[in-house]
Structure 1
Amino acid sequence: MAEESQPKWEGKTTAELSGPTAEQIWPFWEDFCNLHLWHPDIDTCSQVEGTPGQPGLIRYCATKKTSSSGGDDGISWCKEKILMIDPVNRCLSYELLENSIGFKLYVATIKVLSVDGDGGRGCKIEWSFVADPVEGWKFEDLVAYIETCLLSMAKKMEQSVGAHNGY
């Protein structure tokens, strides 16, 4: 009997930044192997192979897992590969290759968009994804996790740009 395929999970979340421009925020995303500087749950991120800023670049990301009692439960890790990167339009797509988290298919697209307004300040970050359902997760939990991470990352990026530009 053929296994019934489940529909893909597809979602999108956004974060709006009032100070920095898209041009100021894009370099944080373009530097694909420095995710640990911005992502609240990544302890390490490093290049495995490929050329920085080019499709085919693979990064390794990991974090220590802790149990509810505070003990060490090992490491959660993944390898991710850039599928497409477009500095002119400030967007990139990547896929999860290998992981210890339970994902089979996961492809994400990050876009840093200008926000029209007075003085041209501000921008919006869009994080969209398509994934196979993950055992032990609910779709809503994955969306909430990505949203929480994106908002945290956007805040750190905004603070970093603001510290250098006086706002």
Structure 2
Amino acid sequence: MEPTTQMPHDQRQPKWEGKACAELRSPKAEQVWPLLEDFFGLHKWLPALPTCLPVQGVSGQPGCVRYCAGVKTPVDLESDQPAHWWCKQQLLSIDPSQMTLSYCNIDGNIGFNSYIATMRVLPKEDGCSIEWKYEVEPIAGWTLKDLDMLIGTDLQEMASRMEASLNQ
């Protein structure tokens, strides 16, 4: 019998969970939602993600898949991780009336195993906010703080670009 490299289920670390929020001062939620729900258009708002291409399905319909690629994250600069990262993400659900969508990673070289995220736009009296909740198995060479920083920074950049675009 060959040794197994998998840990028994009860010895695995619990999934990491986190949430990032970004405030947009002037755009209304109804203006921001169409930008976020464009599942194949994420690269328009996230400079760290120069590539976001449709792989399967229709953007905005559950089951559609996008291919995302970029360069090393700040966390990976000192590591042996590939210079370029990529992943395929599948839209799990979308609810325009609640302005929320969920997706997961289905393949890639970034080590985000069992990654599931939910993004939603929340109306506010003056503007709106975007919330990005996520869970993932612990990532080799990272801490939860590293992931929180990366996603928080990415969300702030997305919100800033969306707001600038809508204020033109």
TM-score, length of structure 1 as denominator length: 0.88
Q: 1:8 to 1:64 in 2, by over 3 A?
A: closer
Aligned-pair Cα RMSD in Å: 1.9
Deviations 1:53-92 (A, max 9, x none): 1100100001134996xxxx64210000000001111000
Q: 3-state DSSP class of the match of 1:148?
A: helix
With 56-65 and 85-94 compared, the bigger mean Cα shift is at 56-65
Q: Return the alpha-carbon distance in structure 1 between the equivalents of residues 72 and 99 of structure 2.
A: 32
Q: 3-state DSSP class of the match of 2:66?
A: strand
What is aligned with 1:148? 153
**2:70 is the alignment partner of 1:63:** yes
Query: What's the CA shift for 1:2?
Result: 3.1
Q: Which consecutive segments of 4 or more residues in structure 1 shift more than 6 A? A: none
Q: 3-state DSSP class of the match of 1:156?
A: helix
Query: What's the CA shift for 1:147?
Result: 0.3
What is aligned with 1:106? 115
Q: 3-state DSSP class of the match of 1:23?
A: helix
**2:133 is the alignment partner of 1:128:** yes
Q: 1:2 to 1:65 in 2, by over 3 A?
A: closer
Number of aligned pairs? Answer: 156
* Structure 2 counterpart of 1:135, one-letter code: A
Q: 3-state DSSP class of the match of 1:77?
A: strand
Deviations 1:19-65 (A, max 9, x none): 00000000111101111111121011011001221100100001134
Q: Return the alpha-carbon distance in structure 1 between the equivalents of residues 130 and 69 of structure 2.
A: 23
Q: 3-state DSSP class of the match of 2:141?
A: coil
Q: Return the alpha-carbon distance in structure 1 between the equivalents of residues 15 and 132 of structure 2.
A: 16
What is aligned with 1:157? 162
* Structure 2 counterpart of 1:108, one-letter code: A
Query: What's the CA shift for 1:102?
Result: 1.0
Gaps of 5+ in 2: 1-6
* Structure 1 counterpart of 2:121, one-letter code: V
* Structure 2 counterpart of 1:60, one-letter code: Y
Q: Return the alpha-carbon distance in structure 2 between the equivalents of residues 82 and 156 of structure 1.
A: 23
Deviations 1:90-121 (A, max 9, x none): 00000011111111110000010100x2xxx3
Q: Return the alpha-carbon distance in structure 1 between the equivalents of residues 8 and 48 of structure 2.
A: 38
